Amino acid sequence: LNILLLQDQIEVREKLVFWLENTYGAFIREAASIEQAVELLKENDPPFDLVIYDYQKSPVKEFRAFRARIKELPCILALPGATAEMPAAITGNRTYVVNRNLFVEELQKTVGEMETSGTLKREQKETEFVRIRTKLLLSVCPLVSDIYIRLSETKFLKLFHEGAEFGVPELEKYTVRKGIEYLYVRNEEAGEFTQKYADELRFMLSARNSPLADSIRSSEAAFEVVQELGARIGFTPAVQKVIKTQVAITMRTMGSSPNLKDLLAKITRSQAEYSGAHSTLTAYLACAIASQAGWGSESTFHKLNLAAFLHDVTLSNSKLAACETIRDVEERAFTEQELKAFKEHPVQAAEVVKTFNEVPPDVDVIIAQHHERPGGNGFPRKLARTHIAPLSCVFIVAHDLARYLLSADPNLAQGAALRLFIEQARARYDSGQFKKALAAIENVTLSPP
């Protein structure tokens, strides 16, 4: 989204730029005067998608002439206290008037409306770069490909050459001092990165028994890599290898009879991005619940682990992955496209898994059913309880608990949070395998220590 922002006060402008960049990943060109704006319009590089006119020196008078200059470009006009829409005769076509006193809310609402109506197309520009969390570069050192830093939506600058050392000093320089969380590799070089990353994971698998915290962190990082690469270069055999190796690490850490009580006592709130943390926690909880309920076998754990790792893999927006129902998504500020992605993600992720070589049966079923509900009010198929597979039932309860624990009030003690979850969940999971899965949680939570 390329925006021309006309604002005459530097402090206001800086805040707006920051907000627009963070909210929309927009690329902003700033103008402090009409003349500057006109110059930037001439350059038009990259071409503008939207003009925001917040020129308080002349909020109305000069606007008409300016409106004529920007031709068909959609424009947001900020006016203090504007309430109703002003007639097009004053503002011109494709002008959206927002109340400046409620700037941020109104801006957000208007951009949303413009997107829904198709006035504004915010296509995620397909860059030729894959995003890599900066700290992961430690595990592919010496670097297997050139590494870039992102300057704007479309501009990247080479930072390290292939073969360069990337050590702790470099990591500190970029993450701690400069606050740069992600660096980039070219799409066509992502294969080498994946290969080396998979080797690194294999090394971790062979080297030692990983403690729970290490294994969880590794899984969260691997999830990010898989999600990003899957979207960029597809689920290639190298990406599949990362998944398999990570699942093997998780399985080994759990052991043959994962203990739910132990697990609940040990897990702490993750610092990772929501999706990775949520998928990892779901994996551990699903296996421990299955084990506690007496359904534990290596093949069951393997299925649950794979399903947990991949069930939301097509949802690139972490906030979307935190939603539970279609209603949750509809009630928040998501675009039509995001709503569609959410509705389809169980089926899409199941399709992804079907393309893998050597995946045990049922994994795609668990994934496809992970938003079905015992009351028949889930999605995408509104399956009746009796049509939901037993392993899916375990998964659904574990998934629900994982989501709950990650979003629970941080001041609430773990035991109190669990009791609250159980209280609320009893009505939902009151029969069949659902009830048994919940009973497993009740048994370890409510039993005396």
Using CB under 5 A, list all residues that contact Fe ion. Answer: 312
Residue nearest to Fe ion (CB): 312
Rounded-to-10 torsion of CA 189, 193, 198, 200: 160
Contact 137, 143 (CB under 8 A): yes
In angstroms, the Cα distances linking 19 to 14, 41, 273, 397, 401 are 9, 22, 20, 37, 33
Cβ(312)–Cβ(281) below 8 Å? no
What does the alpha-carbon distance between residue 301 and residue 437 come to, in Å, rounded to a whole number? 15
Q: Compare residues 147 and 367 and give the one whose CB is closer to Fe ion.
A: 367
Complex with Fe ion: residue 356 or 379, whichever CB lies closer: 379
CA distances, 52 to each of 55, 85, 100 (Å): 9, 16, 12
Q: How many CA atoms are closer than 13 Å to the CA of 421, on its beta-carbon side?
A: 26
Closer of 312 and 364 to Fe ion (Cβ):
312
User: Residue-wise over 135-153: b if at least 16 C-beta within 10 A, else e?
Assistant: bbbebbbebbbbbbbbeeb
Contacts of 29 (CB under 8 A, 6+ apart): 2, 3, 4, 5, 40, 48
- Of the pair 180, 352, the CB lying nearest Fe ion is at 352
Can you tell me which residue has the tokens 């080297």?
A: 207
Q: Measured from the CB of residue 342, what is the shortest distance to Fe ion in angstroms?
A: 8
**DSSP string of 99-159, one letter each residue:** EGGGHHHHHHHHHHHHHHHTSS-------SEEEEEGGGGGGGPSPSS-EEEE-SSS-EEEE
Q: Are 395 and 307 in contact (CB under 8 A)?
A: yes
Closest contact distance (angstroms) between CB of 348 and Fe ion is 10
Query: Closest approach of Cβ 411 to Fe ion, in Å?
Result: 25
CB of 11 to Fe ion, least distance (A): 41
Evaluate the omega torsion of the peptide bond into residue 380 and state whether it is cis, within 30 degrees of 0.
yes
446 burial via Cβ count (<10 Å: 0-12, 13-18, 19+): exposed
Minimum Å distance from CB 97 to Fe ion? 39
Q: Which is nearer to Fe ion, 256 or 407 (CB)?
A: 407
- Please measure the distance between the N-terminal and C-terminal CA atoms of the chain and give it in whole angstroms: 56
CA distance 329 to 326: 5
Cβ 1 to Fe ion, closest distance in Å?
Answer: 27
Query: Among residues 130 and 306, whose Cβ is nearest to Fe ion?
Result: 306
Which CB, 258 or 378, lies closer to Fe ion? 378
Q: Which amino acid is at 384?
A: A
Pick 170 or 224: Cβ nearer Fe ion: 224
Q: Could you identify the residue written with the tokens 């069930």?
A: 311
- For residue 268, the minimal CB distance to Fe ion (Å) is 20
> Quick one: 67 or 371, whose CB is closer to Fe ion?
371
* Minimum separation from the CB atom of position 311 to Fe ion (A): 5
Instruction: Assess whether the previous peptide bond of 142 is cis (omega < 30° from 0).
Output: yes
Amino acid at 288: A
Q: Which is nearer to Fe ion, 220 or 312 (CB)?
A: 312
**Least CB distance to Fe ion at residue 281 (A):** 10
3-state secondary structure at position 334: coil
- Report d(CA 33, CA 7) in Å as an integer: 7
Is 198 or 320 the residue whose CB approaches Fe ion more closely?
320
Q: 166 vs 421, which CB is nearer to Fe ion?
A: 421
CB of 194 to Fe ion, least distance (A): 24
Q: Are strands 75-79 and 95-99 parallel, antiparallel or unpaired?
A: parallel
Residue 112 Cβ vs Fe ion, minimum distance, rounded to whole Å: 23
Least Å distance between CB 339 and Fe ion? Answer: 14
